[in-house]
Structure 1
Amino acid sequence: MTLSRRDFALGAAASAGLMTGGAGFLTSAFAQSGWVPTRDVELVIPFAAGGGSDLLARIVGKIIVEEKLIPQPLVLNNRPGGGGAVGIGYVAASRRKDPNTIILINGTTQITPILNPAARTLTEVQPIMNFMLDDFLLFVSGDSKYKTAQELIDDIKAKPTKTFNFSTGGTTDIMAITVFSRALGKDINPVNFNSGGESMTALLGGHVDGTIGNPLEFMGQLASGKVRALGVFRDTRFSAMPDVPTLKEIGLDVPNFQMWRGIAVPKDVDPAAQLYWQGVMEKVSASPTMKKYIADNVATEAPIVGAEFVAFLAAQEKLYRGLLAKPA
């Protein structure tokens, strides 16, 4: 599905501003790169509409267009499937050297090839910038009989393995369920969907017993009472959710890990274009709109750029592989 600027409520005036921006885009950082977009820019989202990745991509797109950060129109293109492999495969096959293409990447695009070595995702792109880090929460539906994490954990432990089904919106959620299962000593069945939105629908429809996901995918449902947060996968409680305990508080030794979320360009894009997009994304990260989005969704600002982002991802892969390693 291809979505234009109009799909995220930007009017013709904004479009005209983009098309005629001219010298307004030639900041010193961009001028140093020696390159600017020459046609419509395509933001590839290798995940389905409605999930956390899609939501972030639309905020990035909104900022780029409304703040006139590029001199060409921006088009959003959702290409879900395979834990990011379908969308990134599309980029690798047809956009490999195209500097007018940018790609939404996250922890799922890194974990997918760990779980499925035949999949090629993050190695097919050049990371540009990370924006944020998301922690994980344990959720049940608002009408669930489980009012606390302890009640749910006790029931899981008391019943045969694989009795409970949890929905997932990607491979990072699968990883969260894996580390949760190991801490419990009981396997939970992951029921896999293409996005956090589909995972949420399964939870609200009563098709699964629970889910583990990032706050940004659940904030509206939390506020309305349609879902209930039972436990936090980190060492401290969220200030925005002071009544939700950490799982460690109730004696469950669940390792800490987070979902990173950022932007890449195709693998073989010229360094000048990489520098240009780095400058654009630094402006996106510094935007008040982005800062509000991160704060509203109980996430953590984590602007990491260029070579530092590449080094960060190497450390993350080591962490993920360690967490997923089968116990001896």
Structure 2
Amino acid sequence: MSSEFETLPGAVGSPPQHYGNPLGEQKRLAAGEAVVDLSDRAVITLSGPDRLTWLDSLTSQSVKGMRPGDSGETLQLDVNGRLEYAIRLVEDGETAWLLVDADQAEGLVSWLTKMRFMLRVEIADRTADYATIGSLGSAPFDSAGLEAAAPNGVPLVWNDPWADVVAGGHQYANVAEHPGAEWRYTERLIDRSALAAASALPAAGTLALEALRVAAWRPRFATEVDEKSIPHELDWLRSAVHLTKGCYRGQETVAKVHNLGHPPRRLVMLHLDGSDGVLPAAGDSVVVAGLDDPIGVVTTSALHYELGPVALAVIKRSTEHDAKLDVLSDGIRIAAAQEVIVPRDAGAEANVPRLPRLGAVRR
């Protein structure tokens, strides 16, 4: 679905990845002075009095108590706890607005429709009516007097909960200052008829947004998730999982891995050697330095305006924290230093006493 942002001078890509100055755009975006066109993303609505209690019963986060204007994030898992959908959620008192990537919309609507049964819930795809615009602050909108859509009287602005560990969540990253603490990212919905007005605001491309997201250690379904992913591997219990709420599909795996086991893989940020001028692509293999057997893959790479070339990668849990790594990209070996996000000992949080073996003699 095209937008007026694609007609701006220097625009490259759909939606635009940049407008000719990716690092400059990134600085403006980080400073809260620019917006990002995300109008290709999908918007789904749930209406009816049972919408929140029903969604609460299906997904990983406690959403039944959401009030008008509240934002949240929740995950839909399969029976084995693997990620199927990641949902950004805004409640306006009458309707729950679900923001997802475009390729998730059809499947999510179909699955929700199947799970509705006799409950008082109506499901609709509103992507044709509303467009998503991302930013790190409201200044560009305020200066232009461009307001978020508010069909039920509540502005539809999603505030990313990643900046803090949500109630009922858990953080595996063992750091004094989490880089996500400064991540004040929002997505606002506007009428599609207002896209022309939005395109007059200072614009940054999606490359700028991705670079800042990587630096904040913020996972995204479209990039960090594959068919085997569970939330623990990506530290997604931080914002999208409530560990003590009622049952939902996949909860057994979530609880078992968190309390008794360890996730089989873990998310890291890689600081890349930029001397060859090569930025790896998603899917490029990560190996222990000097070896060729893959221990993981790059999920997102970016050129950050302060950190230089960086990437998020998912690697085997057993990989030592201080192991020197390489990324194999297009025949080039790129040296990579890992910054631990999910540590090797993530999980096994329950203090379960060890039972003596049968026949063992106590001393």
Q: TM-score under structure 1 normalisation? A: 0.25
Q: TM-score under structure 2 normalisation? A: 0.23
Q: Highest Rg: 1 or 2?
A: 2
Question: Which of 1 and 2 has higher RCO (CA within 8 Å, sep 6+)?
Answer: 1
- Which structure: greater strand fraction? 2
- Which structure: greater helix fraction? 1
